[in-house]
Amino acid sequence: MFAKLFSVGLYGMDAYIVETEAFISGGLPAFDVVGLPDQSVKESRDRVRSAIKNNGFEYPVSRITVNLAPADIRKEGSIYDLPLFLALLIATEQITAETENSVFAGELSLKGDVRPIKGLLAMAIKAKAAGFASLYVPAANAAEATVVEGLTVYPVHNVTELIAHLKGEAEIAPLTNVDFSSQALPEMADFCDVKGQAGAKRALEIAAAGGHNVLLIGPPGSGKSMLAKRLPSILPEMTFEESIETTKIHSIAGTLPGNVPLIKVRPFRAPHHTVSSAGLSGGGAIPSPGEISLAHNGVLFLDELPEFNRTTMEVLRQPLEDGIVTISRVAGTLSYPCTIMLVAAMNPCPCGYYGHPKKPCSCNSGSVNRYLNKVSGPLLDRMDLHVEVPPVEFTELNSSEKAESSGDIRKRVNTARKLQQERYHGSGIACNARITTSLSKQFCVLDEGAETMLKMAFDKLNLSGRAYDRILKVARTIADLDGSETICSPHVAEAVQFRSLDRKYWQG
């Protein structure tokens, strides 16, 4: 007695079709699972056995062999419970069902309830690409699969409901496709709550418009974290493609809420400084996404930057340049996208008051240098904007005047980002921060005054090639916010101003 159903497996960002084959033969009772299963897949035997018995079916007292093909890819997770359950019932002829054009995935409880699984969006995309028409998945997170057009998604609560549907006794109502444009944005912390800090707000507006990395330096209580946490409220709206890719990563990592079909707000990830290198970049026997990938198309915020482990910080260097993080393990090599805005905040010294206009610093020069040198030069060089966040005066804190709202700032950011999307259409580049060297020569056109000013800054500040490149990109963003196609001297002057703090603090 033989039965075959189709399921889906995950390998990194990609899914693949898995044939779940069940063969029941004579011999001593046994239940073998082959096809490179991991421990969680092997444990399916006990869950499936209990679900069969608890739902009034007869468990076969025979030799059961289950094959998960292709057999050369390691299978992990509990997603094969549901197809395995059905395959055994069909093989023992306890039910008959047309399953050739359907894909099944889901974890079973001992009672037969279908529990949510990871990576459902990637599975739905693969099922549609492979030509399947129907997808039977856990009801708890079936909403994310409805993003894929042309695929009928059936939300399954328990196996009794599924069997009644397959027999034609009680049909499961399929979910309708989600309308991306109709999803409302959640409420976010607003910039109108921030008193003063006009310079820092301007820097964050530039960063949001061009996707630039930012370093905030200032004393305790100056509002660095408050400013950073309001950055998502002014980030440009996500495109449908960005939303799909971001949702896919969070689905694979298991961090997507069950009632959210698509992530429409750019992610904001703020790991604690005790995070490990693997926690930041991703890891595991079969590597899963880390914080840097979970922040894809959004913001990775590192508060108290010098408190992070030096090795952990250095993990960021290559992904910041490439927009992708590659993790190699014995099981294989996987790559996850990580096009992020890195926003870091730090004090200027251990006590926090180095350079404070009113409070004296209690640190000696050696401890200040050791503290600052925890941030390496190469990482510092990858920060496009260095922003000093001064202490807020009492008159500003006590003022009843309402500051500019995030909505007003976001309108300017959206306008600038649309200019960039039109400019780089078809190149795979979404913002100025990602311009390649060849494109920068084409699109970062300087007038005579701007070129002279940039040359003077390069010579006087002894800039590296990377710093020059990043100043040019920031100037391009400032020009976009100004509505200018040509980069002028005021744009370069403002961009150079945001590269001066490393000279103030790191070079005495």
CATH of the domain at 237: 3.40.50.300
- Same-domain check for residues 393 and 267: yes
**What number of other Cβ atoms are within 10 A of residue 461's Cβ?**
16
Rounded to two decimals, what is the model's pTM?
A: 0.89
DSSP 111-122: TSBEEP-S-HHH
Q: Within a domain: residue 44? A: yes
In a domain, 345, yes or no: yes
**228 and 323 inside one domain:** yes
Q: What pLDDT is recorded for position 504?
A: 67
Residues forming beta bridges with residue 11, ordered by sequence position: 14
pLDDT along the chain (508 residues), means of 10: 91 90 87 87 91 92 91 88 94 89 95 93 94 94 89 94 92 81 70 87 94 93 91 91 92 84 90 91 80 94 93 90 84 85 93 86 88 88 90 77 88 94 86 86 86 86 82 94 91 89 64
Pair (59, 126) in one structural domain? yes
Q: Tens of pLDDT along 166-199? A: 988 899 999 887 666 656 667 788 888 888 888 8
Which domain-ending residue is among 152, 167, 182? 167
Structural domain includes residue 453: yes
pLDDT at 376: 87
Q: 398 and 465: one domain?
A: yes
Residue 402, pLDDT score: 80
Q: What is the pLDDT of residues 193-241, one digit of tens each?
A: 888 888 899 999 999 999 999 999 999 988 899 999 999 999 998 888 8
pLDDT of residue 425: 87
Asked if 442 and 497 sit in the same domain, the reply is yes
139 and 205 housed in the same domain? no
Q: Quick one: angle between helices 81-91 and 44-54, nearest 10?
A: 60
In which domain, by residue range, is 275 found? 191-505
Residue 178 covered by a domain: no
Count of domains for the chain? 2
CATH number reported for the structural domain that contains residue 121 in this entry: 3.30.230.10
Q: Is residue 330 part of a domain?
A: yes
* pLDDT score for 127: 95
One domain, residues 305 and 440:
yes
Please tell me whether residues 34 and 82 are part of one structural domain: yes
Do 314 and 390 belong to one domain? yes
pLDDT of residue 291: 94
Are 159 and 224 within one domain?
Answer: no
Tell which residue, 77, 100, 75, has the closest CA to residue 90.
Answer: 100
Which percentage of the chain shows pLDDT scores above 90? 48
Say whether both 154 and 237 belong to one domain: no
What b/e string do you get for 231-267 counting C-beta neighbours within 10 Å, with b at 16 or more?
bbbbbbebeeebbbbbbbbbbbbeebeeebbbbbbbb
CA end-to-end span of the chain, whole Å?
79
- Say whether both 214 and 160 belong to one domain: no
Q: Does residue 173 belong to any structural domain of this protein?
A: no
User: Is residue 460 one of the residues assigned to a domain?
Assistant: yes
Inside any domain, residue 238 = yes
Strand pairing category for 288-289 and 282-283: antiparallel
